[in-house]
Amino acid sequence: MTILFHLASGIALLATLLAITRVNAVHALLYLIVSLLAVALVFFTLGAPFVAALEVIIYAGAILVLFLFVVMMLNLGRDAEAVERGWQPRKAWIGPGLLAAFLLGLMLAGIGMDKTLVTGGAEIGPKAVGILLFGPYLVAAELAAFLLLAGVVGASHLRRREYQSEMKDEP
C-alpha cells in the first residue's frame, strides 16, 4: 500500500505543478481536477474512504461548478464561442487523461492487493463528522469558503467593468 500512496502523491504533486504552470485557465483546471483525484486516492490509501469521497464530491465537483459559473458570468460576447473552442484542443486532454487513467489503474491495483482496504475501518455517524468539521477544522472550512467567495466577487467585478465599457461603446 505504501507504493500506491507514494505513486498517488507523486501524481498529485505533478498535476498540481502542471496546474500552476498552465497559461490557459481551462487546461489548469483539468490538471487541478486530476490533482484532487490523486489526493482523494491518497486519503483512500490512508484508510479514510469517506474523506476520499468528500474530496471527489465536494472539492472536484464544487470547483468545476464554480469555474463554469465564472466562465458563464464572464461572457465575452459574440467572439466567446470561438475562444472557448480554442481553449480545448484535443491534445489538451492527453496529459490529464493519462494521469487520470494511471490513477484509476493504481486504485484498482490497490483494491486488488488489499481487500481490507475497502471494508476496513470503523463506522462513524454524521454527528461525529459534524463535530470534527465544526470543531477543530472550522477555520479551514471558513477560509476555503472565503476564498471561493473572493473568486466569485472578483469575477463579478470584472464582468461588471467589461459590461459598462460595452454599454459606453454602443450608440
Q: pLDDT tens, 124-161? A: 788 887 787 778 878 877 887 787 788 778 777 777 77
Q: What pLDDT does residue 146 have?
A: 83
**In which band, very low, low, confident or very high, does the pLDDT at 115 lie, cut at 50, 70 and 90?**
low
**Using CB atoms within 10 A of its CB, is residue 108 exposed (0-12), middle (13-18) or buried (19+)?**
exposed
- Site of grid cell 465536494: 58
Q: What pLDDT does residue 116 have?
A: 54
**In which band, very low, low, confident or very high, does the pLDDT at 30 lie, cut at 50, 70 and 90?**
confident
Tell me what percent of the residues of the chain surpass a pLDDT of 90: 1
pTM: 0.55
- CB–CB of 117/111 below 8 Å? yes
Q: What residues have CB less than 8 Å from 50, skipping those under 6 apart? A: 124, 129
Angle at 53 between CA 50 and CA 56, to 5 degrees: 150
Q: What pLDDT does residue 135 have?
A: 81
**In which band, very low, low, confident or very high, does the pLDDT at 83 lie, cut at 50, 70 and 90?**
low
Q: How far is CA 19 from CA 14, 31, 68, 140, in A?
A: 9, 5, 17, 22
Residue 4 has pLDDT above 80, yes or no: yes
